[in-house]
């Protein structure tokens, strides 16, 4: 049976993960843990109590961002027309990729803590995207020769190749790509 987490402990974990995401994106995954703890408004001991090693913290940030992106898909589908839901989700995904840029070197380091993450990504993000893409296709709003892998690869390439000092550049490039999804659509 899984033990429930006290509300204050969960707030600390949430604050640490958000702070780590921010610090990693700005300074890389080798940033001092003191900086992460300070950004979160907690002590270093609290950070180590929840995340005894850096790899565990990095993996937790990655999973949290995947979960947030996956969770957004049904909410967007319920509240937006199919193409807009897909376009908005792709921009969220671009934000995830841009954040992941700070994690990339660690995620490819060979650490066993990161081995399950590609599978986690595929199990959570791919179905979210496939559902939105299918709805947009059914509505005739996007071309039919594009699949989830095309979108994932294109967005990753666009986001990873942009300059770090120009964060809006990735979103502009992804907007151009999204506009291209309409080319040749039925509707």
Query: Going from the N-terminus, what domains does the chain have, and what CATH number goes with each?
Result: 1-52 (1.10.10.60), 58-181 (1.10.357.10)
Q: How do residues 114-139 score in pLDDT, each as one tens digit?
A: 889 889 989 999 999 999 999 999 99
Q: How do residues 157-177 score in pLDDT, each as one tens digit?
A: 888 765 555 668 888 999 999
Cβ proximity of 136 and 148 under 8 Å = no
> pTM of the full predicted structure?
0.84
Collect all residues with Cβ–Cβ distance below 8 Å to 174 and sequence separation of at least 6: 90, 91, 94, 155, 158, 159
Buried b (16+ CB within 10 A) or exposed e, 31-63: bebeebbebbebeeebbeebbeebbebbbbbbb
177-178-179 Cα angle (round to 5) = 90
């Amino acid at each position: 049976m899984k033990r429930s987490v006290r509300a204050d402990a969960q707030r600390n974990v949430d604050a640490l993960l958000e702070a780590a995401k921010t610090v990693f994106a700005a300074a890389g995954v080798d940033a001092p843990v003191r900086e992460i703890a300070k950004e979160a408004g907690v002590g270093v001991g609290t950070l180590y109590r929840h995340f005894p090693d850096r790899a565990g913290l990095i993996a937790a940030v990655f999973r949290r961002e995947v979960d947030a992106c996956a969770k957004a898909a049904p909410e967007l589908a319920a509240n937006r027309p199919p193409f807009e839901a897909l376009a908005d989700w792709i921009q969220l995904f671009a934000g995830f990729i841009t954040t992941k840029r700070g994690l990339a070197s660690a995620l490819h380091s060979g650490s066993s803590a990161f081995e399950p993450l590609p599978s986690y990504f595929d199990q959570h993000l791919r179905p979210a995207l496939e559902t939105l893409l299918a709805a947009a296709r059914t509505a005739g709003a996007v071309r039919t020769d594009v699949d989830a892998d095309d979108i994932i690869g294109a967005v990753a390439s666009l986001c990873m190749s942009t300059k770090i000092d120009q964060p809006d550049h990735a979103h502009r490039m992804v907007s151009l790509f999204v506009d291209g999804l309409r080319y040749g659509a039925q509707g």
